[in-house]
Chain A
Amino acid sequence: MIRDVTFGQFFPGKSLLHKLDARVKILLVATFIVIIFIASNYISLAITLFSIFFAMILSKIPIKTYLKSIKMITILVLATSLLNIFYGEGTPLFNIGFITITKEGINNSIFVAARLIMLVIVSSLLTLTTLPTDLTDAIERIISPLKLFKVKTHEISMMMTIALRFIPTLIEETDKIMNAQKARGADIESGNLIQRIRALVPILIPLFVSAFKRAYDLAIAMECRCYNGGDGRSRMKILKVGTIDYFAIIFVLIILILVLLLNIKLPVTMR
Chain B
Amino acid sequence: MSVIKVEDLSYVYGKGTPSEKVAIDKINLEVKKGEFIGLIGHTGSGKSTFIKHLNGLLKPSKGNVYIDGENIWDNSSKIRNLRFKVGLVFQYPEYQLFEDTVYKDIEFGPINMGLSENDRKKRVKMAADFVGLEYGLLEKSPFELSGGEKRKAAIAGVISMDPDILILDEPTAGLDPRGKDEFLNHIKRYHKERKNTIIWVSHSMEDIAMISDRVIVMNKGKVVMFDSTKNVFFRDKELEKMGLRIPQITRIMSRLKDNGFDIDSGILTVDQAVNEILRYLKRREID
Contact = CB atoms under 8 A, between A and B. Distances in A.
Interface of A: 11-13, 62, 64-65, 173, 176-177, 179-187, 201-202, 205-206, 209-210
B56 to A, nearest CB: 9
Given A201-B98, A210-B95, A179 B90 contact: yes
B95 A177 contact: yes
B112 A180 contact: no
Interface of B: 16-19, 52, 55, 57, 80, 83-84, 87-88, 90, 93, 95-98, 108-109, 112-113, 143, 157-158, 161
Contacts of B113: 185
Contact of B161 (A62, A64, A181, A184): A184
Contacts of A12: 18-19
A48 to B, nearest CB: 28
B234 to A, nearest CB: 35
Given A13-B18, A202-B98, A206-B95, A185 B112 contact: yes
Contacts of A62: 16
B57 A176 contact: no
Contacts of B19: 12
> Is chain A's interface secondary structure helix, strand, loop, or mixed overall?
helix
B158 A184 contact: yes
A183 B80 contact: no
A183 to B, nearest CB: 4
A180 B161 contact: no
A185 B98 contact: no
B51 to A, nearest CB: 10
B52 A184 contact: no
Contact of B95 (A176, A182, A186): A176
B90 A180 contact: yes
Contacts of B96: 177, 180-181, 184, 202, 206
A184 B108 contact: yes
Given A62-B16, A176-B90, A183 B55 contact: yes
Given A11-B18, A12-B18, A183 B87 contact: yes
5 contacts: A173-B95, A185-B161, A186-B112, A202-B98, A210-B95
